[in-house]
Amino acid sequence: MSESPNLLLLDPSDADRDALHAILAGAMTDTGNIHQAATVEGAREIAEKLDHLEAFVAGVPKEGGEAVFDLRDELADRFGDVAVAFCSAHDMSPHYERVDPSEMLFFKPVDDEVLRRWLTEKAGFAVNTPASEAEGEKEETVPIESATGSSSGAEPLPEGLLPLGTQLGDYRLLSVIQHDEDLAMYEAEQTSIGRKVALKTLYRRHRTDPNWVGAFAHEARSRALVSHPHISLVYEADQDRGVTYYTLELIAGHTLSQLSAAGHSIDEAALWRILKACADVLHYLRAGGMEYRMLTADTIFLVGDNQPRVANPVKPGMGVPEDDGSQMKAIAAAIRPFMKPGAKADKRLVALLDRMENPSRVDGIKSEEGLASAIRRLEDEALQPEPAAEIEKRDNRAAVISGVTIGGLIVAGLLMWYFLVGNRPEVKAFDNMIRIPEGPFVYQDGGNVELPAFWIDEYEVTLGQYAEFLDAIQSDGSLLKVIRHPDQPETKKSHKPPHWDEMYAEAVRGGRYKGADIDPNCPVTNVDWWDAYAYARWMGNRLPTEQEWEKAARGLEGNLYPWGNDLDLSLFNSGIDQDAKASGSKDGFRYWSPVDALTTDESRYGVRGLAGNVSEWTATWDSHPDFPDRTVPVKRGASFTNKENFEVTARRLANSADDANLSTGFRTARSNPPPPPGTPPQTPSAPENAEEVAPAVDSADSEAKPAEGTGDAMPADPAAPDSETAPAPETNDGAPASDSAS
């Protein structure tokens, strides 16, 4: 350079600014000028006096960081190509959108050697050679953090893979998900809030290479900008003791490849959701001009009630995949193992996969737009009325046949009367409530919790009881306002469960629904939390809190099961025998059972059905394990879909209060003595407890961790249980294992 180059240093912290200045001054030759400022206005005044500016180093404060980026833009407009480096002791992900890929990100305290290399390679400054390089670099000694975060001595932190238990900032490494020669992915715990995350690191040996550090920071920045309901999240990026890392959502589910390898089935409704989600995700990525990896069976997860989630696919440098059909083939290959054989398969789904697997066909599907369009067309066709010509043909055939069969119908009608009316199952009364005495009980794995006395339904609410509730609403529409929860979505206008008419009709005649026997004494299912709350209000009751439910199930002794501490699969209705071709081989039922069918599923207080049959809504809300900012209702008890986690201490968090499936029901509770059995429901004008006015996290429960293996979804086809019956991983293999570290 003909003139001495200028470097503008901005940092609001005097100590940090002095430290940065010492590094820069020690590195630069005497031909470079360093201009310091503590505020954006001060830096702006300095810049106005300069004729040229070659580099800008700025500390980004926790608050007001936008002003630093505004100044950067002003400097670029005035001086043209300025080398820029940002550094901070705080999470910079809120500013990632404004950081250019050519700019460097450093985390405080800034590594001396990394800043030196940036000055040379990015800013073009002449730098002095450190004495350590002239004499031969000595090995750096850095204390390693133990599992508790305390120093374990002068043992050097490894240059590559880190030992488990290492503490990086707020995170403790628990297990290695995957690694290669330069990067590693760990399962880690965010110790301040107890949240499990996936943590990706750049090996320490690259800490002095601005190209590696810059590329890694750019990857974190690009992924953090993704905001899509089906794509996993990136939380924050940081640097600690030479290790640059960022954290991602640890997906609580299994990949399609894992489910396929384990031989699990997925119902076709979930397969359609996966296809729609993939089309939506790909459209989002392309519309945003993002570079990403293809979606495959290794990156598509099922979580919760068979909801799709995609491991964050954004990968700078990968480019945008071409619309050559490869992506559609990959998605079809992920779906194909779960298709039903032969005539049982959904013909529309089979045809769609054929078009995706053969994009060269005239009607082949090559892109996400083609996939989304095909799905919309199939959905529209399913809603079209039958053509008039077909109706006329069918009516003509029916007219010919009717003359021959009318006599037989008279006889058949008499037989039908017997089977449909004369042979209907008895509808039993299950209105008894059990008093649970006041006093302490063992809650979760902790100490005793004191509860006042309360009453809880002896049995789960049945289809017959819920039918009376629906009839009451239909007779008196004003009830809807009285029983409605204040936070119930405005879009929810009814408390009739999906497919209620079909299900209840089969129950009344003692028929079969979804391939399983059903009668009015079976538990009501397909109800969301708002439905359960409304029914309880109509009865003059409420939903039990999580603590009340557990006390009713465990008794004073703190049992793991209602009957004791030894698991006996014949005592309750579970999903352990769901694969049986006939009736359940362990408990006698493949799916739901009448609520009084298994008298052995009884707690010491006499409450029935707490171990199995259906999972049950409670009044308690808690933070969702995947989305800590979202509170959701807690369910308790295993169901006929669960194959593990049968302990009554297991907590099952719903995805939302709107969840409704065939393996979730409820029972009610109250704080005051109930009216005598047979008394008509006495709907109160206000909630029994003021705490029930709005969902809230139960303070006594909020510290408890949700149990894993919360599969609560009922198979759409009971002949083949869906993947929700599979046990969830003990250590989440569903962490973005597909997030290749290479």
- Residue labelled with tokens 């330069």: 182
Which residue did the predictor score with more confidence, 683 or 308? 308
Confidence class for position 105, pLDDT limits 50, 70, 90: confident
**pLDDT for the residue numbered 408:** 57
Cβ contacts of 44-53, under 8 Å, gap ≥ 24: 44/71, 44/74, 46/8, 47/8, 47/74, 47/75, 47/78, 47/79, 50/6, 50/8, 50/79, 51/3, 52/3, 52/5, 52/6, 52/79, 53/6, 53/7, 53/8, 53/78, 53/79, 53/82
Phi, psi at residue 693, to the nearest 5°? -60, -35
Q: What percent of the chain has pLDDT over 70?
A: 80
Average pLDDT for 91-112: 76
Question: Is pLDDT at 726 greater than 80 in this prediction?
Answer: no
**pTM for this entry:** 0.44
Task: Give residue 239's pLDDT.
Answer: 82
Q: Give the best-scoring range by mean pLDDT among 210-214, 329-333, 677-681.
A: 329-333
Output the CA–CA distances (angstroms, integers) from residue 639 to 5, 206, 549, 554, 572, in the order listed.
Answer: 72, 50, 15, 17, 9
Helix 368-383 and helix 347-357, axial crossing angle in degrees, nearest 10: 160
Q: Report how many helices (DSSP H) and strands (DSSP E) the chain contains, helices first.
A: 17, 25
Q: Helices 268-287 and 347-357, interaxial angle, to 10°? A: 40
Q: Label residue 194 by pLDDT band (50, 70, 90).
A: confident
Q: Work out the average pLDDT over 533-561.
A: 94
| Distance between CA atoms of residues 79 and 88, nearest Å | 24
Confidence of residue 602 (pLDDT cuts 50, 70, 90): very high
The structure tokens listed for 257 are 């490849």
181-188: long-range pairs with CB below 8 Å, 24+: 182/206, 182/212, 182/741, 182/742, 183/216, 183/741, 183/742, 184/160, 184/741, 185/735, 185/736, 185/737, 185/739, 185/741, 186/162, 187/250, 187/731, 187/732, 187/735, 188/247
For 580-666, list the strands marked E by DSSP: 615-623, 631-636, 651-653, 664-665
Q: DSSP for 620-644?
A: EEEE-SS-TT-EEEEEES--TT-SS
Q: What percent of the chain has pLDDT over 90?
A: 44
Q: Which band of pLDDT confidence, cut at 50, 70 and 90, is reported for residue 316?
A: confident
pLDDT tens-digit map of 226-284: 888 899 989 888 888 778 899 999 988 889 999 999 888 898 889 999 999 999 999 99
Instruction: Report residue 189's pLDDT band, with 50, 70 and 90 as the boundaries.
Output: very high
Burial label for 131, CB within 10 Å (0-12, 13-18, 19+), is: exposed
- Residue 2, pLDDT score: 58
pLDDT in tens, 630-654: 899 999 999 998 888 999 999 999 9
Cα–Cα distance measured from residue 698 to residue 621, given in angstroms and rounded to the nearest whole number:
6
What DSSP character marks residue 674? P
Least confident of 31-40, 342-351, 571-580, 692-701: 692-701
Q: Which residues pair with 135 in a beta bridge?
A: none
What local confidence, expressed as pLDDT, does residue 736 receive?
A: 37
Residue 153 is predicted with a pLDDT of 38
Tell me what the mean pLDDT of segment 722-734 comes to.
29
Instruction: Quote the pLDDT of residue 719.
Output: 29
User: Average pLDDT for residues 164-193, to the nearest whole number?
Assistant: 91
Percentages (nearest 5) of helix, strand, coil residues in the chain: 30, 20, 50
Residue 179: its H or E element: strand 171-179
- Amino acid in the structure at residue 377: R
Query: Taking a C-beta distance cutoff of 8 angstroms, is the pair 90, 68 a contact?
Result: no
How confident is the model at residue 676, as a pLDDT?
A: 81
pLDDT at residue 699 greater than cutoff 50: no
Residue 103: pLDDT band with limits 50, 70, 90: confident
Please say whether the dihedral angle defined by the alpha carbons of residues 461, 619, 651 and 513, taken in this order, is positive or negative.
Answer: positive
Q: What angle do CA 120, 126, 127 make, to 5 degrees?
A: 80
Q: What's the pLDDT tens digit per position in 358-398? A: 988 888 999 998 898 888 888 766 544 445 444 445 445 54
CA distance 165 to 171: 9
CA distance 142 to 416: 84
Closest CA to 718 of 590, 585, 594: 590
Is the C-alpha dihedral spanning 364, 367, 371, 373 positive or negative? negative
Long-range contacts of 356-360 (CB under 8 A, 24+ apart): 356/325, 356/328, 356/329, 356/331, 356/332, 357/328, 357/329, 357/332, 357/333, 359/324, 359/325, 359/328, 359/329, 360/325
198 φψ region: left (φ > 0), alpha (ψ -120 to 50), beta (else): beta
For residues 561 and 735, which has the higher predicted lDDT (pLDDT)? Answer: 561
| Bridge-based pairing state of the strands 664-665 and 669-670 | unpaired
- CA separation, residue 426 to residues 254, 348, 423, 599, 614 (Å): 43, 41, 9, 18, 21
Rounded distance, CA 250 to CA 199, Å? 9
Q: For residue range 469-520, what is the model confidence (pLDDT) as tens digits?
A: 999 999 998 999 999 999 999 889 999 999 999 999 999 998 888 878 899 9
For the chain, which domains are there? Answer: 6-130 (3.40.50.2300), 167-249 (3.30.200.20), 253-383 (1.10.510.10)
Helix (H, G, I), strand (E, B) or coil at 281: helix
410 confidence band (pLDDT: 50, 70, 90): low
Is residue 730 scored above 50 in pLDDT? no
Distance, in Å, from the CA atom of 5 to the CA atom of 13, rounded to the nearest integer, reads: 24
Q: Which residue has the higher pLDDT, 2 or 731?
A: 2
pLDDT at 728: 30
